[in-house]
Amino acid sequence: MWKWLHPYAKTERAYVLCNTLLPWFVVTAVLSLSIGTLWGLVFAPADYQQGDSFRIIYIHVPSALLSMSTYVAMAVAAAVGMIWQWRTAYMAMIAIAPVGAVMTFIALVTGAAWGKPMWGTWWVWDARLTSELILLFLYLGVMALYSAFDDKRQGGKAAGVMAIVGVVNIPIIHYSVEWWNTLHQGATITKFDKPSIAPEMLWPLLINLLGFAAFVGAVSLVRMRNEIIRREIHRPWVVLIAKQASK
């Protein structure tokens, strides 16, 4: 059933796949991010309550959503590596980790900047904010554990265990606004049948969401490519690429 997937366990095939996918991700990211951000920041109507300061939603919500889905992607890569014993999957995991950490950081910083005018404070210890902060620490833990090993194969396996253990935090973040009575507001765009946001505000948000996702994908692909080259530096096909590039 999963047979079509297995050739990509070879680093060479994975490298070629990265190269094929990369332009699509870059084009999607550039197009949607410029359209979505311009539409959101300039043309979308101002909020009747929050005025113009609501516009940070176009950065905050996509980065927060992506911080969680990137973590899941990282954990899935770790699980794939663990189940099928793929080295490439661990490379993907460690390529994704810093990207997700940056997304989490952006979500926290923009959230703080939004909280200052709206709640009157940069930071409150409510469930959503705390669990998002834990997510940042989980990313850092995975990266630190990986870099502590000299043997990167072993490091990948070890970091993979931590990545999978940390998945318990994801539902906690997602449901934190429902389980606890928090200062952070509930979900805005997950209710597809009747979103609690006007359509002219929603469209740029969705476009930016796509843009952020494509951006995360693009950066992860570039990092994955680099990781493959760095780890397989002695393989003939890598030497061949290097020779062609230096011509």
Q: Which is nearer to another protein, 82 or 124 (CB)?
A: 82
From the list 54-62, 140-148, 195-203, 210-218, the region that binds another protein by CB under 8 A is: 140-148
Q: Which residues in the 162-181 window bind another protein by CB under 8 A?
A: 162, 165-166, 172
Q: Which of 28, 130, 182, 188 binds another protein (CB under 8 A)?
A: 130
Amino acid at 56: I
Report DSSP letters for the chain, one per residue. Answer: --GGGGGGGSHHHHHHHHHHHHHHHHHHHHHHHHHHHHIIIIISPPBTTTBGGGGGHHHHHHHHHHHHHHHHHHHHHHHHHHHH--HHHHHHHHHHHHHHHHHHHHHHHHHHHHHHHHHSSS----HHHHHHHHHHHHHHHHHHHHHH-SSHHHHHHHHHHHHHHGGGHHHHHHHHHHHS--SS---SSS-SSS-SS-HHHHHHHHHHHHHHHHHHHHHHHHHHHHHHHHHTTTSHHHHHHHHHHH-
Q: Which residues in the 40-69 window bind another protein by CB under 8 A?
A: none
Q: Which is nearer to another protein, 43 or 125 (CB)?
A: 125
From the list 37-45, 49-57, 139-147, 231-239, the region that binds another protein by CB under 8 A is: 139-147
Q: Is 140 in the site for another protein (CB under 8 A)?
A: yes
Q: Is 152 in the site for another protein (CB under 8 A)?
A: no
Q: How far is the CB of 101 from another protein (least distance, A)?
A: 13
Q: Which is nearer to another protein, 150 or 193 (CB)?
A: 150
Q: Which residues in the 72-91 window bind another protein by CB under 8 A?
A: 82
Q: How far is the CB of 212 from another protein (least distance, A)?
A: 24
- Binding residues (CB under 8 A) for another protein: these are 82, 130, 134, 137-138, 140-141, 144-145, 148-149, 151, 154, 157-158, 161-162, 165-166, 172
